[in-house]
Structure formats: C-alpha cells, structure tokens
Amino acid sequence: MAATTSSTMDDTYFGTLYRAQLLPELRPSVTSKAVIDWFPPGPGKVAAFSTLDDPGVASGLTEGTDYTTTTAIGTGSATATSAEVGLGTVVTDLLQQISLVDAMAVSAATLARAVEEKWETDLAGVADGATTSTTAASTLTPADLLAAISAIEQRDAATGQIAGYLHPKQTGELRSEISATTALKTAAEGGVPMGPVTGETNGRGFFGNLFEVNIYQTSLVLSASSLRQGSIFVERQCVGGYQLRDTRVETQRFATQRGWVVVVTAVYGLAAVELVNRAQMLKSAA
C-alpha cells in the first residue's frame, strides 16, 4: 500500500529551518583602554610623550667655596603616530531582502570587532617591549607576580596603579595555584575569580585584582622562545596613545554592485613611553 510521506510531498515544507540569531565569531578579549596615557587630539598626526631625565643625586658643598660645577637636565620623548585602520564589505540588496537577520547591522558589528582586535594586537606589541624580565620556572605562580612587582619597586618605579597584561594560560595558572594554596572563598573575596572568566570579546578582558594589581588577559599576548610574554606596568605612564578618531561605522550606496558598502575605521597610534623602569616582563612556559 502506497504511503504519503515527507518524501512524496517534499514541496510542502521548508527543507531547513533557521533562527534569526547568529552565534558571534570567537575573538581575543579586549582589555581596558584606561591603562593608556591618551594624548588629547589636535591638528597633527604625531604626538610626543615627553620624559624627564634624572640628573643624579646632589653632592655635598664646602662652606665658603665657590660651586662651579653645573649639571644639564635633559628630556626625552616617545612619539605616537595616528594612522587609519579599518575593514569593509559590501552587503548586497538581494541578501538584505531575503535575510532573516539585519545583514547590515550584523556586518557592521562584526567589522567593528575586527577593528577592536587590531587595537588589542597593537597594544600587545607595545606591552612586549619591557627591557627587564621575571621568568617563571614553569607555570606562572603568585610568587612570580610578586617578584615582578618587587623588581619595579626596587627601581623606585611603582609610581601609580600597576596593571598586569597576561595571556589566559598565565591567568589560569595563577587561579589554579591560588586554589591549591588558599581558601577559595578568601581568594574570591580578594578579587580573583575562581570560575571561568566568561563573556564576549569585551567581557573577558578584566581578570581580577591580585595584590592590588589590576590583571587583564588576552590571547594576543605575544609568545617567544616557548614562553608566554606577559608583563606588568604602571598604568597611564608606560604606554601612550594618540587617537584622532574613535571607531566609526559608515555606509555608502554602491549602485553598480547593487548593495551598500559598510566600512568601519579608527585613527590612532601607540607609543612605548617608559618601559625601562616602570614595566617588567612576566614570562612563563607557553
């Protein structure tokens, strides 16, 4: 006996159903721009961050003797050149007409996240430039973090809030070490998350506060010689930024391609202002 089935009447229903909801792409987390010393925008592409040289310690004088020695006081500077970065696409009219989602909005948001990833990539490149290092024997421990802090203190360079810029593998090792050596509740109360640091691109950047250090994490932290090259540094004194324009989303009709151009851009530059004394590389096994 013949049966009427989904195969015999396959023109009466949709082959596949889709939701008007997309799971966003995975990207490295974006850390806080508050750690940067931002130069106010002005009528130029290059901004200079000036530093003052140390003329040395004063010497003893002899009463009644003419003091003839003079010491020059010098300055230095690091420059940040603001330049354009961006990414664009064309969203066709046909796609917009048939798509279950707002194709223009989805495209703009995706491109904006790409620009944010470029910013984080550039910051990671600058943060990798500290001239002195603390290297863990293997995995990163709180003792290694404390040693790096001490190194900055010994140079009289703890002149502001200190930030940690670490790879998620490094922060995970810190969390694991803390969980094995102290009460979980005490650690959590101290600002160290004992569970996963979840969220989208901008939600996972802040890991927590340990030993009064604001710790940020991103997988864009560089690696070299089989070591994750995290760092700690004084906020708003080590890395300078010059941003002429924040992230901007623009659209333009592209008639010959029957669609709309979506372009997301930003204009900024970063500079290594003082990574000799106020910063310390914090390395551990990759």
User: For 221-267, how does the pLDDT look when each residue is reduced to its tens digit (9 = 90+)?
Assistant: 999 999 999 999 999 999 999 999 999 999 999 999 999 999 999 99
Compute CA 168 distance to the chain's CA centroid, rounded to the nearest angstrom.
12
pLDDT band at 187 (very low <50, low <70, confident <90, very high): low
Residue 190 has pLDDT above 70, yes or no: no
CB 143 within 8 A of CB 208: no
Cα–Cα distances in angstroms (integers) from residue 165 to residues 33, 59, 62, 267, 285, in the given order: 12, 40, 50, 23, 16
Q: Which of 101-110, 178-187, 246-255, 271-280 has the lowest mean pLDDT?
A: 178-187
186: three-class secondary structure by DSSP: helix
CB 32 within 8 A of CB 165: no
Round to whole Å and give the CA distance between 79 and 73. 20
Residue 54 has pLDDT above 80, yes or no: yes
Residue 105: CB atoms within 10 Å: 12
The percentage of the chain sitting over the pLDDT mark of 70, rounded to a whole number, equals 92
pLDDT (0 to 100) of residue 180: 72
Round to whole Å and give the CA distance between 247 and 250. 10
**C-beta contacts of 142-148 below 8 A and 24+ residues apart:** 142/174, 142/177, 142/178, 142/181, 142/210, 142/211, 144/282, 144/284, 145/174, 145/210, 145/211, 145/213, 145/232, 145/282, 146/211, 148/232, 148/280, 148/281, 148/282
pLDDT (0 to 100) of residue 14: 87
Residue 174 has pLDDT above 80, yes or no: yes
Residue 181 has pLDDT above 90, yes or no: no
Q: Which of 14-23, 134-143, 152-161, 163-172 has the lowest mean pLDDT?
A: 14-23
CB 166 within 8 A of CB 221: yes
CB 82 within 8 A of CB 271: no
Largest interatomic CA distance in the chain: 126
